Amino acid sequence: MNFDNIRKNRVNKIEDIIKAYLPKEEGYQKIIMEAMNYSILAGGKRLRPMLMEETFRLFKGRDRALVEPFMAAIEMIHTYSLVHDDLPAMDNDSYRRGRKTTHVVYGEAMAILAGDGLLNYAFETATKAFQAIKTQTDSEEVILYKRVAKAIEVLGAKAGIYGMIGGQVVDIQEHKERFDRDRLDFIYHLKTAALIEASMIIGAILAGANEDEIGIIENIASDIGLAFQIKDDILDVTSTPEILGKPVHSDEKNEKMTYVSIMDLEKANIEVETISKRALSAYDTLNYDNAYLRELICKLITRES
C-alpha cells in the first residue's frame, strides 16, 4: 500500500465533498458566506472527515450518501473552533494553515459571525443525510432514520459544553489557576479528542456497528485525540512556521500549560507512542480491518505538521 498516494487521493475527494456542501456567496449577507468559505477552504489535514469515512469503511458501510453530509459537517465544526481560537480574545494568532486568519482578513466581528455561521450550517448540512435515505422497505428506512438521528445527537454532544466547548472553557481558566496533569488530560480529551470521537463514532453508527463496537471505537478515538494533542504540544516547540503552517512557540507566548511544560520532550514523545499503541491494541480487538485506517493511526505518531 502506498499510503501517501492513497492519502492524497482521499484528501482530494474530501475537499470535493466539503465544497459541494458550502453555501453560495450571494445575497445582502454574502460577506458571511465569503468569510465562512475562506476559513474552511484554507486546507488542512482533513483528519476528522477522513477518520469518519475510514471508520464507515471499516464496518462495511454501504450508502456513502449518508456519511458525506456528516463529513462536511464535522469539518465545518472543526473550522469554526479554529476561527474562534485564533481571535484576539483567545490565542490571538495571525496565521493558520499557512495564511492569514479569518479575523485578520475580515475583522473580529465578522470572524465571530463566520464561526457562528459554520457551527449552525454544520447541523443544517448534517440533516441532509435524511434526504439520502432511499430503501426498499419501511423497516430498513426506520433503521437508517434512527442511525442518522443518533449521529446528529453525537455530533451535538461532542461539540458542546460536555465536549469541545467544555474543554475550551477549562483551557481558558488556566490563566487564572494552575493545575495538574489530570486536568490537562481533561482539557485534551474534550477540546481535541471529542471531535475525533464524534468523527469515528458517527462513521461506525452510520455503517451499522453494534453498541460494543461503538464503545471500542470511542476509546480508540479518545486515545488518538489525546496523542494528537500531545504531538501538537511537541511540534509547537520543535517545528517551524513553514512546516507547521501556523506560528510556533504560541503556547509559550500565551503561557499555556502543555505536556512539554510539565515534562521534557523525550517523555512527551514516549506518551504519544504509548497512547497510540494502546489505540492500536484496541483496534486489533475488532473483527474488522481497514489497512489504511490502521496505518493512518500509526502515522499520527510520527507526523511533522
Q: How far apart are CA 21 and CA 127, in angstroms?
A: 12
The pLDDT, as a whole number, for residue 249 is 60
Contact 268, 37 (CB under 8 A): no
Q: What is the mean pLDDT of the chain?
A: 91
Q: Which residues contact 106 (CB under 8 A, 6 or more apart)?
A: 31, 34, 35, 38, 114
Give the count of domains, the chain: 1
- Tens-place pLDDT, residues 67-87: 999 999 999 999 999 999 999
Residue 34 banded pLDDT, cuts 50, 70, 90: very high
CA dihedral sign, ordered 232, 230, 58, 143: negative
Q: How far apart are CA 302 and CA 305, in angstroms?
A: 9
The pLDDT, as a whole number, for residue 240 is 58
Q: In whole angstroms, how large is the CA radius of gyration of the chain?
A: 19
**Candidate from 2-11, 131-140, 193-202, 239-248 with smallest mean pLDDT:** 239-248
Only one residue has cell 477522513, namely: 50
Distances in Å between the Cα of 159 and the Cα atoms of 88, 119, 174 are 22, 9, 21
Q: Closest Cα to residue 68, out of 95, 50, 84?
A: 50
The CATH number assigned to the domain holding 81 equals 1.10.600.10
Residue 302 banded pLDDT, cuts 50, 70, 90: confident
Q: Is 99 helix (H, G, I), strand (E, B) or coil?
A: strand
- Tens-place pLDDT, residues 194-242: 999 999 999 999 999 999 999 999 999 999 999 999 998 899 888 656 5
The pLDDT, as a whole number, for residue 71 is 98
**Candidate from 92-106, 114-128, 197-211 with smallest mean pLDDT:** 92-106
The pLDDT, as a whole number, for residue 174 is 67
Decide the pairing of beta strands 95-96 and 99-100. Answer: antiparallel
The pLDDT, as a whole number, for residue 135 is 80
- Tens-place pLDDT, residues 192-202: 999 999 999 99
The pLDDT, as a whole number, for residue 91 is 85
The pLDDT, as a whole number, for residue 252 is 57
For residue 6, give the amino acid letter. I
The pLDDT, as a whole number, for residue 253 is 59
Residue 301 banded pLDDT, cuts 50, 70, 90: confident
Both ends of the chain: CA-CA distance in Å? Answer: 22
Only one residue has cell 485578520, namely: 104
The pLDDT, as a whole number, for residue 243 is 58
Q: How far apart are CA 75 and CA 132, in angstroms?
A: 20
Can you read off the three cell numbers belonging to residue 92?
490571538
Can you read off the three cell numbers belonging to residue 226?
489525546
Q: Which one is predicted more confidently, 113 or 253?
A: 113
- Tens-place pLDDT, residues 271-300: 999 999 999 999 999 999 999 999 998 887
Share of the chain above pLDDT 90, in %: 73
Is residue 257 predicted with pLDDT exceeding 90? no
Domain limits for position 271: 3-302
The pLDDT, as a whole number, for residue 53 is 98
Burial (CB count within 10 angstroms: exposed 0-12, middle 13-18, buried 19+), residue 248: middle
Can you read off the three cell numbers belonging to residue 299?
502515522
Q: Closest Cα to residue 202, out of 59, 80, 76?
A: 59
